[in-house]
Copies of this chain bind each other. A is one copy, B any other.
Amino acid sequence: MKISARNMIRGTVKKVVKGSVNSEVLIELPGGTEITSIITKESAKTLDLKKGKPVYAVVKASNVMIAVD
């Protein structure tokens, strides 16, 4: 399957915090940067997300803002 989302960043699951309907997933990138994702608890279960699992953080280009110092 190929998806239109332009951004797919490889990383590894560092932590999964289960909420009541959503879960927070921390993904660690190779350089050490962390990315936080909020997905439904059901999706986290379906994808069997757990510490150490290789994943992609996927972001649609229209959801990326830009900041400057």
* Chain A residues within 8 Å of B, Cβ to Cβ: 1-9, 17-25, 27, 30-31, 33, 35-40, 42-44, 46-49, 53-69
In contact, B66 and A47 (Cβ under 8 angstroms): yes
Show 22 residue pairs from A and B whose CB-CB distance is below 8 angstroms, ordered by the A residue: A1-B2, A1-B69, A4-B40, A4-B47, A4-B58, A4-B66, A4-B67, A9-B35, A20-B20, A21-B38, A25-B66, A27-B66, A31-B31, A36-B42, A37-B61, A39-B64, A43-B66, A47-B66, A47-B68, A49-B66, A58-B65, A58-B67
8 Å CB contact of A6 from B3, B5, B18, B40: B40
In the complex, what distance in Å separates the CA atom of A35 from the CA atom of B27? 16
